[in-house]
Structure 1
Amino acid sequence: MQIASGRTIMLSSESALRDFKAYYPGARNQVCVVRFATQPPAAFLNTDPAGVIAAYNLPANYFYLPNQFYRHKNHQLVVDALTILKGRAVDVVICASGSKEDRREPGYYDLVNSEIQKRGLEAQFRHLGVIPLPHVYALLRASMALINPSRFEGWSTTVEEAKSFGVPMILSDIDVHREQTAGSARYFGVDDPVALADHLVQAAQEAHGPIIRKVIPHQDDNVSAFAASFAATMRQAAGQDVAEPIET
């Protein structure tokens, strides 16, 4: 990818900034890091989580994994962790949602799903497909924890959404997840299903029944800080050119 000189580059994390410097060591652009925050729309929070859980035939206690089925999202590690727990006679349920399609690798979902079936994990790994966004928020708010096993990410929207409700998180131990959560989550290596299995057991043991969470206090302040940072970047870029976002 060509980087036009003289333009302001906007990145979503310090992790992305380190990658930018590594891949474009000769770039002389002004680079700004703007970490976004989310404000859940009030209309989406009117959906009753209990009704959504019942509609999808989920148990009261479950973990939530709302990632598209792309290889780097690392669903296979979750399947491996569930296999370990099955061997320990520990029963947990992971509810997943998101598209099964990836034009870069058609059939990847089928490969993962075949492993789920081969290992007899259909009851433990429930994939709902693409679901309405109010249902995503409902399942997130009532889950025992959000899981994100990705091998790499930008500034994760699902992590931000979990933070906005105070949902516990079990995340892959990559730089951006550490940066985004400031050490407040449980972390596991991207190739370490045993660590993930252990975290699932511990989180399930610490759960105190179904909890339906509301937006945390001061979330408006977090969103306002993001808006101020974005606006400052736009003002800075106005004297040079339009800010140019970079996806990671």
Structure 2
Amino acid sequence: MKITIVIDAPHYIGGIRYIERFIKILSLTDQDIDLNIVYVNCKSPLNISVPKKEFFFKIPSILYRLDRLMARFLGISFFSIFLLKYVKNGNVFFSDIFLPKFLKKHYNIKLVHWFPDFQVYDLEHLFPKNKVISRKLYILLQLRTCDYLLTQSKTDLERMKILYPAFKDKIVKWSFAEPKFDVPEIDTVKIKEFNLPRGGFLMYPHQGWAHKNHLLLINILQSFPSERLVLTGRLSDPRNDKYSKDLQDAISKSKIEIINLGLVDSEELNLLMKNAKAILNFSSYEGWSSCVEEGIMFGTPLILSDLPIHREQFGDASFIDISTEESAKKTFAKALSEVEGFKGYCHGQRVMNSVKDLNDILVTL
């Protein structure tokens, strides 16, 4: 089975990690996979060890962005036609390949698009009006041109079918899991100029988007003076300059120790998450959280905001009520006490379920 993935740049780190997990799970199915990856304006390939063919293209960014914008209104991407020789006679996952039915049929192409989350609906106030319109048009374009649209949860699956009943037969669910790989338990994580003792820090591996609630976390941690917080990722929200500034101010004024590591590589991130006291996610909105799957696999305690999607993804975590600062403080204290008696999570069945669900989708293509 030929499967092609087209990766364009710039691309959010979360999206790249999702694709990497897809490839890992794909390699565990019982299908004979001929994997092709096409990189558009990407400086480096995916760091994943599976048999694959790789192709690199560089085109003027402005032309590529213009083509994607026009596709929202015309229903066809001219760049997709340029890539026909690489995607024909196969199945294309995740990419911005938009083709009319006659071309798909003529070149024997099946398109499987990915729907990450409902941010543009639920956090509409965070987006400029033109972005809201553009993203909603993009979802409709995906549905019109794809054979399947992948959602990540039952919650999103049911909601998509209600919002777009005309396309309900195209909408399917696939939840990724993190296949097991070894990361050592070490007494001290040495990273940059810091020496972090195992179990001696709380881990917050999220970019500084306003809905990730870094400010709420920092504010309530002032009541827990013995804790140390480690942050990774870009701590800025390009949609909200004021929030970005407020976050930097809160970090500089914090009474507890906050270590802002910024961007770290995957090996460093894995060591941090494996050896943390707990992995936190105070987000007010999620799709299907990467850090949750990683925490389960690493066997690190998880403390999550009490969202329906978090409950669906992993009901065995500790949950906090983020509706007010006071409720978050109270429930966080309870969650910390649960960490003390933590005995690990069951991981293997999640991967088996993810493999089975993906295999069931592949056999219908």
- TM interval, shorter chain, is 0.7 to 0.9
Q: Is there any run of 5+ residues in structure 1 with no aligned partner, and where?
A: 239-248
SS at match of 1:129: coil
Identify if the C-alpha distance between structure 1 residues 106 and 235 changes in structure 2 by more than 3 Å, giving closer, same or farther.
Answer: farther
Letter in 2 for 1:97: T
TM-score normalised by length of structure 2: 0.54
| Alignment equivalent of 2:228, drawn from 93, 100, 113 | 93
**Deviation (angstroms), 1:200:** 4.0
Counterpart in the other structure of 1:228: 356
| Alignment equivalent of 1:50, drawn from 188, 192, 206 | 188
SS at match of 1:9: strand
Alignment of 1:24 with 2:138, yes or no, is no
Task: Kindly indicate whether the alpha-carbon contact (under 8 Å) linking 1:144 and 1:204 is maintained by their aligned counterparts in 2.
Answer: no
Identify if the C-alpha distance between structure 1 residues 49 and 20 changes in structure 2 by more than 3 Å, giving closer, same or farther.
Answer: farther
Separation (CA, whole Å) in 2 of partners of 1:99 and 1:23: 33
Identify if the C-alpha distance between structure 1 residues 40 and 109 changes in structure 2 by more than 3 Å, giving closer, same or farther.
Answer: farther
Counterpart in the other structure of 1:66: 205
Of residues 222-231 and 148-157 in structure 1, the stretch that sits farther from structure 2 once superposed is 222-231
**Deviation (angstroms), 1:143:** 1.4
Separation (CA, whole Å) in 1 of partners of 2:297 and 2:162: 32
Task: Kindly indicate whether the alpha-carbon contact (under 8 Å) linking 2:319 and 2:335 is maintained by their aligned counterparts in 1.
Answer: no
**Deviation (angstroms), 1:169:** 1.1
The count of residues paired between Structure 1 and Structure 2 equals 224
Counterpart in the other structure of 1:39: 179
Counterpart in the other structure of 2:271: 138
Identify if the C-alpha distance between structure 1 residues 184 and 46 changes in structure 2 by more than 3 Å, giving closer, same or farther.
Answer: closer
Task: Kindly indicate whether the alpha-carbon contact (under 8 Å) linking 1:7 and 1:29 is maintained by their aligned counterparts in 2.
Answer: no
Separation (CA, whole Å) in 2 of partners of 1:93 and 1:74: 17
**Deviation (angstroms), 1:66:** 0.4
Normalized per residue, the structure richer in strand is 2
Task: Kindly indicate whether the alpha-carbon contact (under 8 Å) linking 1:8 and 1:30 is maintained by their aligned counterparts in 2.
Answer: yes
Alignment of 1:196 with 2:324, yes or no, is no
Letter in 1 for 2:272: L
Identify if the C-alpha distance between structure 1 residues 135 and 179 changes in structure 2 by more than 3 Å, giving closer, same or farther.
Answer: same
Letter in 2 for 1:9: L
Instruction: Please give the root-mean-square deviation of Cα atoms over the aligned residues, in Å.
Output: 3.0
Task: Kindly indicate whether the alpha-carbon contact (under 8 Å) linking 2:178 and 2:351 is maintained by their aligned counterparts in 1.
Answer: yes
**Deviation (angstroms), 1:101:** 4.1
Separation (CA, whole Å) in 1 of partners of 2:177 and 2:146: 28
Letter in 1 for 2:230: C
Counterpart in the other structure of 1:172: 305
Task: Kindly indicate whether the alpha-carbon contact (under 8 Å) linking 2:322 and 2:328 is maintained by their aligned counterparts in 1.
Answer: no
Task: Kindly indicate whether the alpha-carbon contact (under 8 Å) linking 2:185 and 2:274 is maintained by their aligned counterparts in 1.
Answer: no
TM-score normalised by length of structure 1: 0.76
Separation (CA, whole Å) in 2 of partners of 1:46 and 1:187: 27
**Deviation (angstroms), 1:154:** 1.2
Identify if the C-alpha distance between structure 1 residues 115 and 151 changes in structure 2 by more than 3 Å, giving closer, same or farther.
Answer: same
Of residues 198-207 and 59-68 in structure 1, the stretch that sits farther from structure 2 once superposed is 198-207
Separation (CA, whole Å) in 1 of partners of 2:265 and 2:251: 25
SS at match of 1:160: helix
**Deviation (angstroms), 1:208:** 5.4
Letter in 2 for 1:92: E
Q: Is there any run of 5+ residues in structure 2 with no aligned partner, and where?
A: 1-138
SS at match of 1:20: helix
Task: Kindly indicate whether the alpha-carbon contact (under 8 Å) linking 2:233 and 2:264 is maintained by their aligned counterparts in 1.
Answer: yes
